[in-house]
Amino acid sequence: MYEVLLNNIAQKKVELTVAEQQKLKTFFIPKKLRKKQYLLQDGDVSLYTAFVEKGMLRSYTIDEKGNEHIIQFATEDWWISDMYSFFTGESSSYSIEALEDSELLLINRKSYDEMLLAIPKMERYLRILVQNSLIATQRRLSGKLSLSAAENYKNLLNGCNNIVQRVPQHMIASFLGITPETLSRIRKQMATGK
């Protein structure tokens, strides 16, 4: 049940003793979510940060015009939450939804703090994790600042992401910050012209 998480920690070069591994498990709550169920609803406080053992989720906002904008996809081995809401206790402007039947490990704020006190090595693991996330998010932002929609889509394809295969195209469009129509035209263009 916790192998995926423990592997992920080991892979970040953080070595936990068996005792620490046992201890770690006590802070999490396993949870299954069926496709289309929500982990977090826009307006609620993000009570949990989730590690995805299996399946896939997305976090997104809805703007005034009612359009969805996908902030993040999380597949196996990734974490997802609204960090801002989770840490401040303010209500969230994001929603988090399962895109496939999923198995999660949840941790609430209290357990989170206790875990860090009990297993200080987890600070390191989380730092590395967040660091990688930041690098990826900066990349994405940088793409949005300087590249065309078509280029951003190509980069997404080249990144060894299986995401593109696993979700409907209108969600890829939303992730890229373009409309489904535009993505459709880009794909057509790439198929013929190139």
Partner DNA sequence: CGCGGGTTTGATGATGCTCAAGCCCGGTGG
Partner DNA sequence: CCACCGGGCTTGAGCATCATCAAACCCGCG
Which residues form the interface with DNA (CB under 7 A)? 65, 67, 148-150, 168-170, 177-185, 187-188
Q: Which of 69, 75, 101 is nearest to 171 (CA)?
A: 69
Compute the least distance from the CB of residue 107 to its own copies, in Å: 15
Among residue numbers 158 through 187, which ones bind its own copies (CB under 8 A)? 177
Compute the least distance from the CB of residue 170 to DNA, in Å: 3
Query: In angstroms, rounded to a whole number, what is the distance separating the alpha carbons of residues 66 and 27?
Result: 37
Q: Residue from 63, 66, 193, 194 that binds its own copies (CB under 8 A)?
A: 63
Q: Residue from 16, 116, 118, 164 that binds its own copies (CB under 8 A)?
A: 116
Q: Which of 126, 97, 96 is nearest to 24 (CA)?
A: 126
Contacts 24+ apart (CB under 8 A), 15-24: 15/121, 16/119, 16/121, 20/119, 20/121, 23/118, 23/119, 24/115, 24/119, 24/122
Compute the least distance from the CB of residue 34 to its own copies, in Å: 27
Containing 84, the helix (H) or strand (E) segment is: helix 83-88
How large is the C-alpha radius of gyration of the chain? 18
Residue 110 interacts with its own copies (CB under 8 A)? no
Nearer to its own copies, 30 or 120 (CB): 120
Nearer to its own copies, 28 or 79 (CB): 79
Compute the least distance from the CB of residue 87 to its own copies, in Å: 8
